[in-house]
Structure 1
């Protein structure tokens, strides 16, 4: 009897293994409930293109622009433009950073100046939830490099051997008067202070290297724990078992027709539902943004495949040199709730119908025939309570209409309960016309948003004029 049971058990195990092998041979998309992916990126040149954008994907290949395609963060420091963002999560998942190149081509800078006398700083933001971000700060990474001319394309990875982050970036340190970017690194625990920069990657002669990104592989995949892809005239692949150890050249992607003359900005993404990776490459030479190249072994150059036609969609915004984070369910819920595509609206005055609410130098008023982003707001779920609204600026993401001493200004959300209460309102039937709207203060319910001498105020409403002043239409 025991032998029979043993044989039956073996048969059942074999059948199970057969069906398991069949399912692994044909990878399937994870269930729709599985969390997706978040990409931080910039979109191109100009003061608005060189800011911080986010996109979301459920499957890693089809992307939707968040925040209605508008920036989610603006740099207010350094050159006041950012490129090449890296999105970093702490090992415990309780803190996040965005680190980016401090560079704004066409906004007071050109390429020659930024190469030979550019910013030596990186721009850094910090968050505890991927939603509320600190004010940006500048981190001087290249100032201690003798004759270092700039700091470009930062990345960071947690190093378990040293229990801190390896922060790495490109700096131009010319050779014989010729431009030569090398990759430098420093260690940091907080992205506010760093160790003395050291050379991390240097190519022979005058060959430059600017972009590189490292991916960690699970046990059983390839011969190395880490693989890095670099733009150095080719898209070169290297492997190592230690982030700061010796790296071995594995080859490049010229076999599928991709060289550093065509693509740059390598960006790794691991599919969460199968052992497959995408290496996104920015098609800068043709101006087409990211292209996904897939592989089941990042350390094997011959395993990379170009995408089939129609197999991916990058969304409306061009996606350039960025970073992808595999989201947890909680992270995805927060991100989509905060940055979902809420359309931009204007607030039209009831009794001056050629005037609209707008901000100017962070003061708030009603002006005539305003159609631009200064007069556009997203009516987000109220910061302080359900069933309420808060008005977020379209061109200053993270800045909201807020009352202080009953006056209104456009102010950056500081995350405090006081700010949330001051920036939250109940949308009610218009006091002068029920088909329009009025906005009652959340923390001063006897007061409403109204204009007086064209300035926005928070006042009690007791007269017919006041009711007209406090009535608005939410319109496109």
Structure 2
């Protein structure tokens, strides 16, 4: 009996070892179930390239454009363009902000104007869930800097020492006869009001500094609690035990062939499953967007290495100066559902087939032969109920077709129950042709979307003319 027990014990031990070996050698299976990363960025020039775009990655190196590569937020304030977004999460995870440069090159302003007489404001959005965002507001940060000419490339980091955020950005300003960009900082709790700006980083002589981003390191990694990377002619690394300094020079990335003449917009990302970091750098000189540089110690310049060929993919759009957030499972689920790749569609009138639904100055009508983004919508799952649809504007993401007083407008989703009900419809067989579609109001089920004198309305349908007016084709 003891021999049998010994044999059984040996078999059980071998099985346990085999099982253990299998789990150790397949870490990718567990990692694949972990939440991924969200990048907020802009993609280039023009009125739609200089807006907020989102991308997602499961591993931090291979990225997929969200929302079909289209905008996820559009600025309607200031210059009506944004660059260099920073994505900020509150310490308790209850709030999120995006802060960005108020800048739209080629949209009525050139580089010389932006440098010497640009916007003194930052553009700010706020959210409680990463998917429904407030309308943007302007935060004047450089107006309190005497003779400050602009406000560029904002970043923010929570400072546990002062229990608020350190908000920092670049402003071009003459000091002692030298006009150049310096990094200024102020403190804030809500990105609506700030303390008096102070100089944070200044380089000697005429050397400018524009882009800076700080990463916090865990205990036991590197020689400093915080490391910042800055674009100042080099990609300079500095370390400190305090966000407000003093800071120690740690070197730069010239040893791997990367200088400020080639790259800018440093963006940190910590890998979730290991003590390894990526410093993404925007290859602006060659117009190629982000490149990941990997290190096991951000404070040691000699540990950085260029990526192997084919080891990363930036997706379909060019990723430029932005910010990365490590997602929780709940955040990832919400983000991927909200920004799913829903194709852009048009709504063609049944009885005026050369006309399509479009918005103009946020009013909604049918016009002839419209093909641009003002006539394009993404049919989203209904905001108010399952089995329904809502129409989100391609040109103004976050804005939906919504009835108010039975008239239609393109309106920003304010997150209320009333808005959701007013912007939700049931797609049914066309009242004039069952191969087309009609759209019944969710909260006024006796009424349908129809056009009247080319304007969109919500009306009861009782006549043949009304049935034709209330019938549309969803088309590309």
Range class of TM-score, shorter chain: over 0.9
The two structures have a TM-score, normalised by structure 1, of 0.93
User: Could you say what secondary structure the match of 2:334 adopts?
Assistant: helix
1:278 match:
278
Deviation above 4 Å: which 4+ runs of structure 1?
26-30, 175-178
1:85 match:
85
Note the C-alpha offset of 1:273: 1.2
2:401 match:
401
- Mapped to 1, the partners of 2:95 and 2:31 lie a distance apart of 27
Quick one: structure 1 residues 437 and 475, their matched pair in 2 at CA, closer, same or farther if it must change by over 3 Å? Answer: same
Residue deviations 1:143-183 (CA, integer Å, cap 9, x gap): 11122111111000000000000001111122465431111
The two structures have a TM-score, normalised by structure 2, of 0.93
What is the aligned residue count?
A: 459
Note the C-alpha offset of 1:351: 1.6
Note the C-alpha offset of 1:363: 1.3
- Mapped to 2, the partners of 1:262 and 1:143 lie a distance apart of 31
1:174 match:
174
The answer to whether the 8 A contact 1:43-1:318 is kept is yes
1:293 match:
293
Note the C-alpha offset of 1:76: 1.3
Equivalent positions of 1:40-51 (< 5 A) are: 40-51=40-51
- Mapped to 2, the partners of 1:215 and 1:137 lie a distance apart of 27
The answer to whether the 8 A contact 1:346-1:356 is kept is yes
Is residue 2:403 matched to residue 1:430?
no
Note the C-alpha offset of 1:190: 0.7
Equivalent positions of 1:191-230 (< 5 A) are: 191-230=191-230
- Mapped to 2, the partners of 1:239 and 1:145 lie a distance apart of 27
The answer to whether the 8 A contact 1:29-1:59 is kept is no
The answer to whether the 8 A contact 1:30-1:273 is kept is no
The answer to whether the 8 A contact 2:135-2:412 is kept is no
- Mapped to 1, the partners of 2:211 and 2:27 lie a distance apart of 31
Note the C-alpha offset of 1:29: 7.4
2:323 match:
323
Note the C-alpha offset of 1:31: 2.5
Note the C-alpha offset of 1:35: 0.8
Equivalent positions of 1:37-436 (< 5 A) are: 37-175=37-175, 177-436=177-436
User: Could you say what secondary structure the match of 2:161 adopts?
Assistant: coil
- Mapped to 1, the partners of 2:436 and 2:116 lie a distance apart of 57
Note the C-alpha offset of 1:282: 0.3
- Mapped to 2, the partners of 1:395 and 1:248 lie a distance apart of 46
Aligned-residue CA RMSD in angstroms? 1.8
Note the C-alpha offset of 1:32: 2.0
**Could you list the runs of 5+ residues in structure 2 that have no partner in the other structure?**
1-12
2:5 match:
none
Q: Which of 258-267 and 98-107 deviates more?
A: 98-107
Note the C-alpha offset of 1:48: 1.4
- Mapped to 1, the partners of 2:401 and 2:136 lie a distance apart of 21
- Mapped to 1, the partners of 2:469 and 2:148 lie a distance apart of 58
Note the C-alpha offset of 1:454: 1.5
Note the C-alpha offset of 1:436: 1.2
1:31 match:
31
- Mapped to 2, the partners of 1:194 and 1:280 lie a distance apart of 29
Note the C-alpha offset of 1:379: 0.4
The answer to whether the 8 A contact 1:40-1:87 is kept is yes
2:466 match:
466
Note the C-alpha offset of 1:398: 0.8
- Mapped to 1, the partners of 2:151 and 2:454 lie a distance apart of 46
